[in-house]
Amino acid sequence: MTFTEISNFIFKRSIEDYHKHDNVDTVINNPYPEKTIEYFLYLKNWIDTVQWHLEDIIRDPEINSAEALKIKRRIDKSNQERTDLVELIDSYFLEKYKDVKVEPRAQINTESPAWAIDRLSILALKIYHMQQETDRKDASRDHRAETEKKLQVLLTQRSDLSTAIEELLADIEAGKKYMKVYKQMKMYNDPSLNPVLYGKPSK
């Protein structure tokens, strides 16, 4: 199996595992050996899946403000965890290709492999939930037809993105492209960079 085939399989498994309970507080039961790339891919998608449903919950027009704030802060924390996982997955590729001799004319890609895989994980969620809409028995025929069209676009997008990732990895392995990873400098979570946080008087 190619790397994206493995990734898509793991993402599908993670989403299906989550929906056995369909609860954002479900404890993750990662089936892969700890610290393997499969383990991190499963964890990455699980975080994405939980956040997907948190984003649904917070859009409830009848949610009370205290609960909404609690969920918003949970989403902020989740975003940081997602970023950390992407950087960790990129570290896997950096280690894997560290001995590749880079060609003099090698070029850098617009995004690292792991950020492309991040998009693949989100696509898996879109496909799963669009399939649910297509299969809804209580939906109108027009709704099901429209969501079926969207589903086919998403499936094509996943195929195209998977191909692009495989080509990128092949180019990195051949020295035609090289990786350069910039750590995400998220400022809003950093007490020394967020003026709202560092401007607070100590109690």
**Which residue range is the domain that position 107 belongs to?**
3-198
Angle, vertex CA 175, rays to CA 173 and CA 176, nearest 5 = 110
Provide the pLDDT confidence category of residue 186 given band limits of 50, 70 and 90: low
10 located within any domain:
yes
pLDDT on residue 201? 60
Average pLDDT, whole number, for the chain? 93
Euclidean distance between CA atoms 51 and 159, whole angstroms: 24
- The average pLDDT across 136-154 equals 95
158 located within any domain:
yes
Q: Decide if pLDDT at 150 tops 60.
A: yes
Q: Dig out the tokens for 73 from the structure.
A: 């802060």
Please list, in sequence order, all residues whose beta carbon lies within 8 angstroms of the beta carbon of residue 50, skipping any fewer than 6 positions away.
Answer: 18, 24, 78
Q: What is the pLDDT of residues 72-103, one digit of tens each?
A: 999 999 999 999 999 999 999 999 999 999 99
- The average pLDDT across 137-153 equals 95
CA distances from 61 to 10, 43, 139 (A): 34, 30, 22
Provide the pLDDT confidence category of residue 189 given band limits of 50, 70 and 90: low
168 located within any domain:
yes
Q: Alpha-carbon torsion 96, 99, 101, 106, what sign?
A: positive
Answering whether pTM is above 0.85, one says yes
Q: Decide if pLDDT at 158 tops 80.
A: yes
203 located within any domain:
no
Q: Dig out the tokens for 162 from the structure.
A: 């998977």
- The average pLDDT across 142-147 equals 95
Count of domains for the chain:
1
